[in-house]
Amino acid sequence: MIHSSLTQLGAALRAKKISSVELTQSYLDRINQLNPQLNAFITLNPEMSLAQAREADTRFASGKVGALTGIPIAQKDIFCAKGWLTTCGSKMLHNFVSPYDAHVISQFNNAGAVNLGKTNMDEFAMGSSNETSHYGAVKNPWDTARVPGGSSGGTAAAVAARLCAAATGTDTGGSIRQPAALCGISGLKPTYGVVSRYGMIAFASSLDQAGPMGRNAEDLALMMNVMAGFDERDSTSLQRDKEDYTRDLNKPLTGLRIGLPKEFFAEGMGADVAKAVEAAIAEYKKLGAVIVDISLPNSKLSVPVYYVLAPAEASSNLSRFDGVRYGYRAPEYGDLADMYEKSRAQGFGAEVKRRIMIGTYVLSHGYYDAYYLQAQKIRRLIAQDFTEAYKQCDVIMGPTSPSTAFQLGEKGDDPVQMYLSDIYTIAVNLAGLPGMSIPCGFGANDMPVGLQIIGNYFDEARMLNVAHQFQLATDWHSRAPKL
């Protein structure tokens, strides 16, 4: 069962070959066995999970079921879930039990899915390796001496290791796609505003987007059917007609125009990654696609632009964590100002402090115009590059990450090198476009390589079709680490 897709699990549950309680317990047993080795989960609550499973089994008895009813889904620990510890991977929220559900959690609850547990992540989603978590680094299940990517590294590791049927992630600059690539799974970052951010602890509000992570494109489509939709509690949520993201999965790819940006295939990409990506492009040609050479001239500026804008928004969003209302409070302090300073100094980790300081600097008097406003102008140019590119092609493809998973601790002392791990993904967030990563082969040390597919606004159904057809023709997505 652990290697089954969501469609297969749903069919087994409806045919009563297995109950939701049995399925949930089997995943909990596997987590208990492997999580000490991988550190993919922060919080488990078997009583709550099994109670949801029993409720799902009751639904099956009544016949009122959906595609995800009874299926155990893990949730990134950035989503508030009522009655669950919600830490965002930080000491600052080590004791915060949420009194309400995020919109994403509510959607899964309404669909009858089981909340299997909360997955580990980089602290406040700040990182590309899942080494900044207060609860320790997550290990890549393909090689536990290597990182799983970040910030959704716990989710990626859990899906790859078959600790859950599927899971949620969030993507601010590549945090769904990059760990999906490094762990050999599929992950989708939707168009900005398609999935509500209500109850999702904010990092950079104009960039953050929740999305699904699973074994294949069909699983992602089923999850998007649940996750997407308008939410009046989120001012950036888009009011659109409900979509069926599975509708185009089986369309042929004949005539599909694939844009290959010359900037993505320049210096910086590992030879092993290039080989796997080129082989994937060749497979798409066999499926009837046409290759178009394009250019995204301003994409090279995406990393510096991101590391002005994201820290600026983070410095504002994280100002609420001050030791007053909830979360960590320093045990000893003199006055109110001292409590603020000590609570934040002790509650935040080094990477979060670094980004808060950068953000406060670029927003300060005298630097706002020079840095923040300039970055916003370049952000617009980056988005315009994509608009021009889509006049020539239907989807854009390239590598997700410049390398396969690197060693734990390898880049910890060099933040710039760590930031460059997201060089191919950040532009997508700056433009608000949908992007996804699917497995396309293996590189050095037999570590997974991800192919990135970037679509035009609201083109998720086409992207899922493009990914699904590739996965029907190859088996990279079905390979699992030996644990």
What is the bridge-based pairing of β-strands 257-261 and 290-294?
parallel
CA atoms within 13 A on the CB side of 383: 15
Stretch (H or E) spanning 397: strand 395-399
Which residues contact residue 311 at a Cβ distance below 8 angstroms, ignoring those fewer than 6 apart? 204, 355, 356, 358, 359, 362
Checking phi first, is residue 134 left (phi over 0); if not, alpha (psi -120 to 50) or beta? alpha
Amino acid residing at 53: A
Alpha carbons 253 and 400: distance in angstroms, whole number:
21
User: Which of helix, strand or coil describes residue 155?
Assistant: helix
Whether the CB-CB separation of 396 and 261 falls below 8 Å is answered with yes
- Choose among 151, 170, 173: nearest CA to 431: 173
Q: Which two tokens stand for residue 190?
A: 């939707």
Amino acid residing at 116: L
CB atoms within 10 A of CB 324: 12
Which residues are known to be catalytic?
76, 151, 175
CB atoms within 10 A of CB 424: 30
